[in-house]
Amino acid sequence: MDIILKQDIANLGYKDDIVTVKDGYARNFLIPKGFAVNANVSARKQHAEILKQRAHKEEKIRNEALEISEKIKNVSLTIGAKTSSKGKIFGSVNTIQIAEALKEKGFDIDRKNISVKEELIKEIGNYTATIKLHKEVKVEIPFEIVAE
């Protein structure tokens, strides 16, 4: 029996995939739990239309992310931190401070989309952060930690 998945199911497929499963598995588990729908003619037409519209929206979002990535590539950030006389930072610098510095430059990016290779930055110096703007668009920006 062919079904259209409504969500990701381990060892079976991802959301909006059309997969073939045994009739009992579909009728007794997947369809009653709301994990899938029967892939009849009308459901397939509806599924095709949804995929077409989603592809159009995804392309628009991806293009916006590419535009932002071109603008953000040229940005260099300087983050001030309280330090000891030896250059050690009291506490650490993390993605929250990077997101705030980006916000000051005019880019409103969620801190969850920012990653730094070093888990905790505890010394002044130059580092690189990776910003995920879209699942296909990532930008690396340099930033510098200076003593306040």
Same domain, 80 and 65: no
- Indicate the number of domains in the chain: 2
Which structural domain range is residue 57 located in?
2-69
CB-CB contact of 15 with 7 (8 Å): yes
pLDDT at 34 exceeding the cut of 90: yes
Same domain, 55 and 79: no
Same domain, 80 and 139: yes
pLDDT, tens digit (0-9, with 9 covering 90-100), for 41-68: 999 999 999 999 888 888 898 999 899 8
Same domain, 57 and 7: yes
pLDDT at 134 exceeding the cut of 80: yes
CATH of the domain at 20: 3.40.5.10
User: What confidence category does residue 29 fall into, taking pLDDT thresholds of 50, 70 and 90?
Assistant: very high
What is the H or E stretch that residue 99 is in? helix 95-104
Q: 114-116 and 125-134 as β-strands: parallel, antiparallel, unpaired?
A: antiparallel
Same domain, 6 and 62: yes
Same domain, 124 and 82: yes
CA–CA–CA angle 116, 118, 124 (5° rounding): 95
Same domain, 37 and 81: no
Report pLDDT for 125. 87
pLDDT, tens digit (0-9, with 9 covering 90-100), for 106-116: 888 888 889 98
Same domain, 136 and 86: yes
Contacts of 110-114 with C-beta under 8 Å, sequence gap 24+, read none
Q: What is the mean pLDDT of the chain?
A: 89
pLDDT, tens digit (0-9, with 9 covering 90-100), for 63-92: 998 998 888 888 888 888 888 888 788 888
pTM: 0.64
